[in-house]
């Protein structure tokens, strides 16, 4: 991977071209990020931090905490993050074809349906930057009260 200093020497147009090669269809957006299919690997999405904030960094840190634990099965894995955290590459989930679970670990407090998807035959959270980390990562489960935004 190129160093940050090496990339500083590239023109802004080169940066735009590189992103245009990578960013496919826009598949989501939230209050601070936009999400695109990774055209270089359609099994991934690219999350772009559009406002001041640390949602990508937060998600990356949470993934690094859980990736080698029994809780990893509940999360869409993060594969890469840019040095400043503005670009996060994560495994892509699909619209679920299976039922959402009746119970989830207690630390998942935001059960908006659009924050979850199907990956490898199971339901996982793909938007967990605002995970309730004040709850410890325990095996305690709770009833899942799934909700959606009304249009």
Whether residue 83 is contained in a domain is answered as yes
98, part of any domain: yes
CA-based torsion, 81, 116, 31, 29: positive or negative: positive
Q: Is there a domain that residue 150 lies in?
A: no
Residue 151 lies in a domain: no
Residue 148 lies in a domain: no
Residue 1 pLDDT class (50, 70, 90 cuts): low
Residue 26 structure tokens: 């826009």
Mean pLDDT within 124-147? 87
CB 57 within 8 A of CB 81: yes
In tens, the pLDDT along 55-98 reads 999 999 999 999 999 999 999 999 999 989 999 999 999 999 99
C-alpha to C-alpha distance for 46 and 87, rounded to whole angstroms: 7
For residues 96 and 118, the answer to whether their CB atoms sit within 8 Å is yes
**Distance separating alpha carbons of residues 17 and 124, to the nearest angstrom:** 32
Q: What average pLDDT score do residues 28-38 get?
A: 95
- Domain assignment of residue 104, given as a range: 4-143
CATH number of the domain at 58, please: 3.30.200.20
Is residue 20 in some structural domain?
yes
């Amino acid at each position: 991977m190129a160093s940050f200093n090496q990339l500083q020497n590239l023109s802004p147009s080169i940066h735009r071209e590189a992103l245009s090669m990578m960013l496919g269809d826009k598949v989501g957006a939230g209050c601070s990020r936009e999400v695109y299919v990774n055209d270089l690997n359609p099994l991934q999405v690219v999350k772009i931090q559009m406002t001041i904030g640390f949602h990508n960094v937060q998600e990356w840190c949470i993934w690094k905490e859980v990736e080698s634990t029994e809780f990893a099965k509940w999360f869409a894995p993060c594969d890469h993050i840019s040095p400043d955290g503005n670009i996060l590459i994560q495994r892509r989930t699909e619209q679920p074809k299976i039922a959402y679970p009746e119970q989830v670990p207690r630390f998942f407090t935001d059960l908006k349906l659009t924050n979850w998807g199907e990956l490898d035959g199971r339901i996982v959270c793909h938007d967990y930057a605002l995970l309730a980390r004040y709850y410890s990562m325990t095996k305690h489960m709770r009833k899942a009260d799934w909700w959606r935004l009304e249009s």
